[in-house]
Amino acid sequence: MARLPTIFVSVAAFCEPHLQPTVHQLYAKATYPQRIFVGLVDQSEELNPGWLTEFPARKNINYVGLSPVDSRGVSWARAIAFSLYNEQDYLLQIDSHTLFDAGWDEALIQQMQQLKHTHPRPLISTYPPGFKFDAQGRAVADEPVKSSEIFRIDRDPGSTLAADRAVLQFRVIRQQPESSSTTHLPGFHIGACFLFTTGDFTQQVPYDPYLYFRGEEQSLSLRAHAKGYQVFHPRHNLIPLYHLYKEVGKLYAGQHWRPDMEAKRHSAFGWLQQRSNERTNALFTPGSDLGVYGIDDPAYLESFSKLSKIDYLGRT
């Protein structure tokens, strides 16, 4: 009998009220839960919660608990989560407020195997469809009936470059494929809340722990391009998970920059974000040396600029 392929799931949580249902569904909705291994970085006031201790698949969860006061942001936490990888065949990175369709694991592996016929290093990613909680506290998909549209990521037209600013914002553009047989479209941008590829991505494109929040996805996207990965954006009806999106301008428990957490922390949000911005600017500036968190050849920046149609070189 052939060995079942394994999936490493990277989860970084910060004071996350929805971590338990995320972990529960991760296993309950998998076709082969025994092949799911989680690297969980839990930045919480309550470490090693009781529900996790008693969780049936606890032996498959590699857990690191950290005080939220000591946290340095999502990229730092995801770098730690990547360090928990242990030679699994595939990598799935999600946010800690994610729900799943039944058979999500089998669906993503089948898509990856299909895409490998057209590219040696496919990477499936997008900003997934959302869900909300109704008045009774039940999770409800924003769109119960999924479409055949491709969830393609592109630059937000209102977001601009400057000589000292490379950090941009991105959005989903829903695009009807020209052919009904088209399942994915090639792209350039990785959505960090839904990334699926081979497990060695954790070694090929290690997370930069010195980034904060914005710039995280741009760093991954350029560096993945430099390592030969091709981003593919899937159709709506091929995305087997859902993301709990937050309203802009509203404070939430899982926000690192919340004023009450900022008052307790030793590393100020402003300093962390400034350092991150400077690092992103350096990555997109020819000649900068960021070691394993950079690119080996400036030619990759030029080819990525052409691929993305974003004039990173013209800003300097």
> CA 273 from chain center: how many Å?
19
Structure tokens given for 242: 């859902």
Q: Are 285 and 316 in contact (CB under 8 A)?
A: yes
Task: Determine the average pLDDT of the residues in 238-261.
Answer: 78
What is the percent of the chain with per-residue pLDDT over 70, rounded to a whole number? Answer: 96
Taking the C-alpha atoms of 1, 120, 189 and 303 in order, what is their torsion angle to the nearest 10 degrees? 170
pTM: 0.95
Structure tokens given for 166: 């490379």
- Report the alpha-carbon distance of residue 76 to residue 87 in Å, rounded: 21
Cβ neighbours of 3 (radius 10 Å): 7
Cβ neighbours of 93 (radius 10 Å): 26
When comparing pLDDT for 85 and 144, which is higher? 85
Q: Which of 208, 238, 235 is nearest to 221 (CA)?
A: 208
* Torsion angles phi and psi, residue 272, rounded to 5: -60, -45
Q: What is the pLDDT of residue 12?
A: 97
Which domains does the chain possess?
7-310 (3.90.550.10)
Round the average pLDDT of the chain to a whole number and report it. Answer: 93
Task: Determine the average pLDDT of the residues in 192-218.
Answer: 95
When comparing pLDDT for 316 and 114, which is higher? 114
pLDDT in tens, 58-83: 999 999 999 998 889 999 999 999 99
Q: How many residues in the chain?
A: 316
Q: What is the pLDDT of residue 23?
A: 98
